[in-house]
Each structure stands twice: as C-alpha cells, then as structure tokens.
Amino acid sequence: MAVFMAILGLVLVLCFCSALLRWNEVRYRKKGLPPGTMGWPLFGETTEFLKQGPNFLKTQRARYGSFFKSHILGCPTIVSMDPEINRYILMNESKGLVPGYPQSMLDILGKCNIAAVHGSTHKYMRGALLSIISHTLMRDQLLPKIDEFMRAHLSNWDNQVINIQDKTKEMAFLSSLKQIAGIESSSISYSFMTEFFKLVLGTLSLPIDLPGTNYRRGVQARKNIISIMSQLLEERRASKEIYQDMLGCLMGKDESKYKLNDEEIIDLVITLMYSGYETVSTTSMMAVKYLHDHPKALEELRKEHLAIRERKGTVDPIDYNDLKSMRFTRAVIFETSRLATIVNGVLRKTTRDMELNGYLIPKGWRIYVYTREINYDPFLYPDPLTFNPWRWMDKSLESQNYFLIFGGGTRQCPGKELGIAEISTFLHYFVTRYRWEEVGGDKLMKFPRVEAPNGLHIRVSHLTN
C-alpha cells in the first residue's frame, strides 16, 4: 500500500510539473516568436543555463537554430548566436535595441551610468569619457601613471607565493584610481577598494533589498563611494590647485567641451572603474596562466620586453613608442581574451515590438547577443582550442567583422587601448623581473565568469639571465 501511495504521489508530481511546464510554454506562444523553450514559471531555464553554461546554449542551438527564445535570469530572452544578426543588433541601437543589463546593475551603477543612458545623453556621456582617455592624454598623462603604478605594484614579489587573481584585481582597481584621481596606494585607496568590491558583487546579484544580501551591501557601497567622491570634489574645489588626472579634466568645466554636474561626474567615474576592472584583471590573470602553460609564447614575449628594456635605462618608464612596439604582447592579449572568452556576450533589450531575423520580438524582451562561439570558429581561428598568439600577428584578424571581443557598434569599448596599455605594462614588469610556476591544484571556472574560486597561486622567483 505504501509503495502504491508513493508511486501515485510521484505520478501526480510529474503530471503537475509537466502541466506547469506546458502552461508556461503556452503563455509565451505568441505568434511570430522564434522557436525555443521557456522552462519553469518565474525561474525559466536559469538553472540549466548556469549549470551547463555554454553547453546548454549549444544544445538549444542544435535544436532550434542560432536564434531562439528562452527565459533566463528572470526575463524572457532571445539568444542570438548568429554572427550577422549579432552585428546588426550592435549597430542598430537607434532602432530600439538598447542595453539590457540587469536591474541590480543599473541601481548600483547609477542613473547617469553609460549603460543606463541612450540616444543623445549616451552620446554626450560617451564623448565626455572619450575626452579623458584620448591618445594625447594616454601618452602624456595616463601611461606615465600606469607605468609608475605597475613598477611599484610589481616590486618585491620574488621568493613569495602570490595569489595572482587577487594581485591582478588590486592592480586593475588601484591603477584606475591613480589615473582617475591621482590617489596612490594608501589607506583611502584601500577603504575605497573594499567598498568598490562590495559594489561589484552587488551588481551581479538578484535585486533583493534585504539585510545581509549582496544587493543591499552593493547599494550601501554605492552610497559610501558617493560620499568619498563628493568629499574629494569639495576638497579640490576649495584648494584651487590644477590636477593632472581624469577628475581634473572632468572638473575643468571651462576648458572642457563637456559640462557635467557632480552626479554625472561621479557616475562616470564609477563607470570607468567598473568597466575596466574585471576585464583587465581577468585578462591579466589568464595571460599569466596561458604563458605559464606555453613556454614558447612566454619566451617570445620576454624577448620582446627584454629588447625594450635593453634600449632604455633600468628606471626609464614605458612610453607610447614602446607600447606601440609591443606587437607580440598585443597578440598575447587578444589570444587570451579569445581563448578564455572573458566576455561571453552583451545584453540588449527591445524598447518596442519589432521584427528581427523574420520573427516578432515583443517590447521589453532581453536579447543575449552571445558572441562566445565566434571565438572558437575553426574558419576564423584554425585549431581554435590552442593558445596561439602568433595568429594575431596578421593585423587583419583584429579588424575582421566578427571580432567582437570589445563589442561593436555605438557601444564598442572606448577603453580598449587603455586596457591593452595596462595589461601590456603589467606584463612588461612581470616577465622582465620574474619567472614563476604554479603551485598547482587551483581550479579555474570559465562560466558564467572566468575566475579561480580559491585563487590562482604562483611561486615567484627573480629572473636571472
């Protein structure tokens, strides 16, 4: 009897689940939507997406083609894995395809954040941002600061076991703080960093405003950062000194074409720090990982950097010409970004009902412009799973249409060259000063973010020729 009841219970549960799944499918069966499945009410297919990662999307593509519907991370979503359509979406923001980042990100990064603004406001904020990272400023102000920072940050690492994940995270944050506000490693920068790390975690969490949640901590961190920044702005206004840094340019309203108020300045600073943080730190960590595993590539890279050092005195900083001469380094950075896929894709949302790829997409749906698979396309990148920086020595690969590592269209990464300059300078001091081996046993996760959950530990020793 007990067995019978258990079987009956199981059958009822299965019937209920299948009815629920069916109901959810029917709910979204609007005419003209692309094929695909919507999973469970509310949760959709988020669990499968997070657990199986790229394999889930590849399985769906095998069933439904490169343009299918799903329900992930709390939203009905179209996943586009078609390179042509992806390019079209990125190029056509004005047709109602605006950034579609999660609510927690928008709340915590602020309403003037670049991902939250569209149209002419976006153009203005982007212009202001580009004006503080121009070629001239990079050459005259930013690169000298990056060099000075890296030189100090990478000192005394020999004979130590280092968690390179932590070091590259600190590096990305502290280097941008120095460029933005000239703040050196000091007690302010460390308290700022603690708040910033909480802010980052908050943007990646569900927007649940309860005590103890990462979201609540992120919102609080934003308030603390605003208060630190407001005080800094006040002090600068009171001092009348001229500051040669990004904040100095943003505050110098008289000389600048862009007149931003304090709220806009603070949100722009948060945008800058946030956008360059994980991309630069993770690419640097993964470059260290791949170079460790590929001694020939490391040898070539080191040769390039030792040749630069030989042309200069030991204390001479890296300058713009040195940077331009780092061709193999640039190739290592691209190959690292490609193979590790630091950015899986970008999010957009529809601001109106629209036709896309022959389907009707309702207003408010999210579109996941999933670019990861292009990175492993054997026609573009023969032997795609091999780390082969030499493939990038042919410059045309960088300008091919499907090169979307830095995004595309009106939102293409404005910090590309700055990010490359930071990673290149980091690699310069790292490979000319040290050799290293992995301690071993550290796990690396590739999805949804590239990270080493327990850190990536390396034993560093002095480089002797």
Distance from the first to the final alpha carbon of the chain: 80
Residue 86 or 214: the one with the smaller Cβ distance to ligand HEM is 86
Task: Write the CB contacts of 41 (distance below 8 Å, at least 6 apart in sequence).
Answer: 20, 23, 24, 27
DSSP-derived pairing of the beta strands 354-356 and 67-72: unpaired
Tell me the C-alpha distance between 30 and 203, whole Å: 32
Torsion of CA 217, 218, 222, 224, to 10 degrees: 30
Residue 38 or 116: the one with the smaller Cβ distance to ligand HEM is 116
Q: Write down the least CB distance from residue 55 to ligand HEM, Å.
A: 22
Nearest to 251 by CA among 273, 269, 228, 224: 269
Residue 182 or 414: the one with the smaller Cβ distance to ligand HEM is 414
Identify the DSSP state of 43: T
State both tokens at 277: 């943080």
Residue 80 or 275: the one with the smaller Cβ distance to ligand HEM is 275
Residue 48 or 82: the one with the smaller Cβ distance to ligand HEM is 82
Q: Write down the least CB distance from residue 375 to ligand HEM, Å.
A: 12
Q: Write down the least CB distance from residue 2 to ligand HEM, Å.
A: 56
In the complex, the residues that contact ligand HEM under the rule CB under 6 A are 99, 114-115, 126, 129, 133, 271-272, 275-276, 279-280, 283, 337, 342-343, 346, 405-407, 411, 413-415, 418-419
Tell me the C-alpha distance between 356 and 97, whole Å: 10
Residue 33 or 365: the one with the smaller Cβ distance to ligand HEM is 365
Q: Write down the least CB distance from residue 284 to ligand HEM, Å.
A: 9
Task: State yes or no: 413 annotated in a binding site.
Answer: yes
Identify the DSSP state of 33: P
Q: Write down the least CB distance from residue 465 to ligand HEM, Å.
A: 30
Residue whose Cβ sits closest to ligand HEM: 415
| DSSP collapsed to 3 states, 156-212 | CCCCEEEEHHHHHHHHHHHHHHHHHHCCCCCHHHHHHHHHHHHHHHHHCCCCCCCCC
Task: Write the CB contacts of 307 (distance below 8 Å, at least 6 apart in sequence).
Answer: none
Residue matched to tokens 């470059």: 287
Q: Write down the least CB distance from residue 246 to ligand HEM, Å.
A: 9
Q: Write down the least CB distance from residue 310 to ligand HEM, Å.
A: 28
Residue 202 or 415: the one with the smaller Cβ distance to ligand HEM is 415
Residue 49 or 274: the one with the smaller Cβ distance to ligand HEM is 274
Amino acid sitting at position 418: L
Identify the DSSP state of 76: E
* Per-residue exposure over 377-396, b if at least 16 CB sit within 10 Å of its own CB, e if not: eeebbeebeebbbebbeeee
Sign of CA dihedral 194, 199, 205, 209: positive
Q: Write down the least CB distance from residue 81 to ligand HEM, Å.
A: 16
Task: Write the CB contacts of 69 (distance below 8 Å, at least 6 apart in sequence).
Answer: 28, 33, 34, 35, 36, 37, 38, 76, 77, 78, 79
DSSP-derived pairing of the beta strands 359-361 and 345-350: unpaired
CB 71 within 8 A of CB 77: yes
Annotated binding site for heme: 413
Annotated binding site: 413
